[in-house]
Structure 1
Amino acid sequence: MNKNVVSAICGCLFFVNSFSQDKNIEELLNEIEQNNTELKGYQSYMESQQLENRSNNNLPDPQLSGYYLPFGDNATGDYTEYQLSQSFEFPTVYAARGKWNESKSQQLALANANKRQEVLLKAKNALLELTFLQKQKAIETERKTQSKRVLDQIQKLFDAEQVGILDLNKANIAWIQEQFVVEQIDSEIQILLSKLKTFNGGNAIDGVTSELALPIKVGAVESLWQEKLTKDPLLQELKTNEAATLQKIKLEKNKILPNIALGYNYQGVSGNNYSGIYGGLSIPLWSSKNKVKAAKANYEYQQSATHVITTALYTQFQETYNRYQLMLEKYTEYQRTMGNLNSEQLLFKAYMLGEYSFMDYYLELQFYRDASDRMLQMEKDLQLLQAQLLKHQL
């Protein structure tokens, strides 16, 4: 009695310890986000682009020029001149370009967020695939054990000359097939673990269990779409692109204003010299030609692109949602019908009692196993569709 109590306590402690090491899918995705090399590389690229954009708004370099003219027929002495100047665009241009750079920084940030979601969606799909492979392995391992029990029983009946060699061969083939299925699942699990390790920056993923699957129900299509409009970085990037092209129009209009140069000038000859302030204007008559028109045309194009892309994404979203709802309905029917059947156990019990021949038992068993496998596949497909629908929540 005491041994049983101790064993039970140890079992509970082992279960609690194992459960505490498990991670939910959000924790695993957070770990992948921190370690993923592609995201780290894109973050560095984004920072470099932001710095480059800011550098485009710097002042031109100062200019120092000079003349010393000792040659020629001159009676007044050598001529000397030097000039230090700083040129710059009209001050409002820098303010307009600064706002344009802010828009481009927002574009980069949203592109980075979109890249992050793409990587995390792939990782999430791999995690979901892994959890269902683990579920499938548990099922197939139980089936393999059951097939071995059937094979052992038929072997005894064969030894007692109560069944023929054909039944024994069929039972042996069925057991070999179950062994192969389990080995194949193990291979697929290792492939997914390697893929997840790559997502995790070369670090192995720990704490993945068959309980990672998420609730399969989602909200109404319109509420999900409205949430997607406000959170999805791809859709937000379209709006930011519009704002950036609109700001580019304002920038080009400001660049029509004259450029300015200020500086110091010195001129000297035969002990006499003159010095003072230098000023100049550069009127952009030719360099700004058609720039505003081009910026306006680009803005109109961006507005049209936003509408077209948003409409296409909404259509795609609706198609995914409709497929999801149809599959959910069929999955619910399967679940309701097969939930309490316990068919494999009942069939096995009937076979062991001699109510079925091996061939009849095997055919009936395959029917229920195919239905069970189909239901598990539908559950996995639902999870993957849900991950696609809720991508904006990553």
Structure 2
Amino acid sequence: MKKICFLLTALAICSSAHAQDIESVLASVAENNKTLIAAQQNLEAKKMAFRSSQPLYNPNVEYDYMKGFPETAGNQQDLLVNQAFDFPTSYGIRKKLAGQLDAQYEFEYLSTRQSVLLEAKTTCLGLIFAKKLDPRIQERKAMTERLLADFEKKLQTGDGNILDVNKARLQLIEINKEYQMNQALIRQLEEKLEGLNGGIPMPFIQKEYATAEVLGSLEDLFAEIQAMDPMMQFYILGNSSAEKQVELTKSLALPKLEAGYRQQAILGQSFQGFHIGTTIPLWENKYQVRQSQQEKTFSSLVLQDYKNERYFTLRQQSEKLEKLGMTLEEYHSVLSALNDIEYLNKALSVGHISTIEYFLESNYFYSAFTNYLKTEHEYQILLAEILRHRL
């Protein structure tokens, strides 16, 4: 029975850590990432912090006992219970401001979430690149090992020479180095992905990039970014909140009110009734309205600066993406028509080319293919950065 329970538990763990594609990886990271969990807690703390800084004033209770002199004058007792209020309009403004700040904090959290998911996505794209490169490296490795074995066999029978053997050995050292580095890169990216997933293992087997998302015109894409980018919305709401803060500061500069109950007892007589009072705002808020107006101007400038920076960055990224796409098409059209390795193998076997010519030509072909994969990877990374607002 214990073995059955253990097996079921193991199956459940394997199921939860089942190999993932990019979309399911992002969903898992969004749920398990420790940075996002902490950011969610920070979000709630910020909401509570604003509300705790804007309470009603504490009620005030005063009691006075005054002994009369001479004794025939009697004793006097005063009791005052009162509550102070801001000018009534401030409460409606404060409520609207609280709602705007809550939304602003939400967008700040979404921006953090977007950054974490972009990091997870680029990690997945890196794994796809490394896994696409791996078969080619292994192909070169196996081919060079066969050549080395053939050269060593010929050397033993007297039909070969030590120069060919040494060239093959040096070539194999370089290929093994490249193979080990690529394997190390895969392990590093898998460990990084596990860390982003809150330390939960998550095998990733996707080996091909998804179909590239369609980009509209620059203006349409920027309009989409303005509507969906959390930081853009954060700054827009920040500007609106600054305007509301000016209203609130002006309202708080108006007289404060007091209302309460007063009782007085003296010479056996008792007096009781309402207490009404006000404060005259002469000095307390003298510069606060001006300060809030300056902060509003600053918020407007920050918003405009972010829009400009985002637009020109997007334009540069779009131009670069277009050029990378053209390069990819050129690579693809040329490489798909080549079969250089098979040709080189035949040429070497019949002695049409030397060993050094063979390795130079094969290295050129594999270098071109590797550069094609790097360009493809760079294209996918840049596309992910452009469309980060969709995460």
Counterpart selection for 2:160 from 160, 163, 166: 163
1:177-225, CA deviations, whole angstroms, 9 ceiling, x for partnerless residues? 2222111111111111221111111111223322245527633322221
Superposed, which structure 2 residues align to 1:100-119 within 5 Å? 100-119=97-116
Residue 61 of structure 1 corresponds to 58
Residue 6 of structure 2 corresponds to none
- For the pair 1:186 / 2:213, whether they are aligned, the reply is no
Residue 3 of structure 2 corresponds to none
- For the pair 1:287 / 2:274, whether they are aligned, the reply is no
Counterpart selection for 1:246 from 243, 248, 269: 243
Q: Secondary structure at the match of 2:334?
A: helix
Q: Secondary structure at the match of 2:31?
A: helix
Residue 30 of structure 1 corresponds to 27
What letter is aligned with 1:204?
P
Q: Secondary structure at the match of 1:163?
A: coil
Number of equivalences: 376
CA distance in 2, matches of 1:120, 1:208: 18
| Shift, 1:86, TM fit | 1.0
Where do 5+ consecutive residues of structure 1 fail to align? 1-17
| Shift, 1:120, TM fit | 1.1
CA distance in 1, matches of 2:53, 2:211: 48
Residue 89 of structure 1 corresponds to 86
1:92-126, CA deviations, whole angstroms, 9 ceiling, x for partnerless residues? 11111111111211211111111111111111111
**Given that residues 81 and 265 in structure 1 are in contact (C-alpha distance below 8 angstroms), is that contact kept between their aligned partners in structure 2?**
yes
What letter is aligned with 1:253?
K
- For the pair 1:138 / 2:135, whether they are aligned, the reply is yes
TM-score, reference length from structure 2: 0.91
| Shift, 1:71, TM fit | 6.2
What letter is aligned with 1:144?
K
**Given that residues 147 and 174 in structure 1 are in contact (C-alpha distance below 8 angstroms), is that contact kept between their aligned partners in structure 2?**
yes
1:279-313, CA deviations, whole angstroms, 9 ceiling, x for partnerless residues? 11112222222332332232223222222221122
CA distance in 2, matches of 1:158, 1:186: 33
**Given that residues 87 and 257 in structure 2 are in contact (C-alpha distance below 8 angstroms), is that contact kept between their aligned partners in structure 1?**
yes
Superposed, which structure 2 residues align to 1:223-262 within 5 Å? 223-262=220-259
Q: Secondary structure at the match of 1:75?
A: helix
Residue 5 of structure 2 corresponds to none
What letter is aligned with 2:101?
K
Further displaced range: 214-223 or 73-82? 214-223
**Given that residues 29 and 198 in structure 2 are in contact (C-alpha distance below 8 angstroms), is that contact kept between their aligned partners in structure 1?**
yes
| Shift, 1:353, TM fit | 3.9
Q: Secondary structure at the match of 2:263?
A: strand
TM-score, reference length from structure 1: 0.90
Q: Secondary structure at the match of 2:260?
A: strand
Distance 1:217 1:92, change over 3 A: closer
- For the pair 1:149 / 2:108, whether they are aligned, the reply is no
Q: Secondary structure at the match of 2:72?
A: coil
CA distance in 1, matches of 2:235, 2:103: 11
Superposed, which structure 2 residues align to 1:1-394 within 5 Å? 22-70=19-67, 72-215=69-212, 218-394=215-391
Further displaced range: 287-296 or 98-107? 287-296
Q: What RMSD in Å do the two structures reach over aligned CA positions? A: 1.9
CA distance in 2, matches of 1:213, 1:199: 21
CA distance in 1, matches of 2:374, 2:81: 77
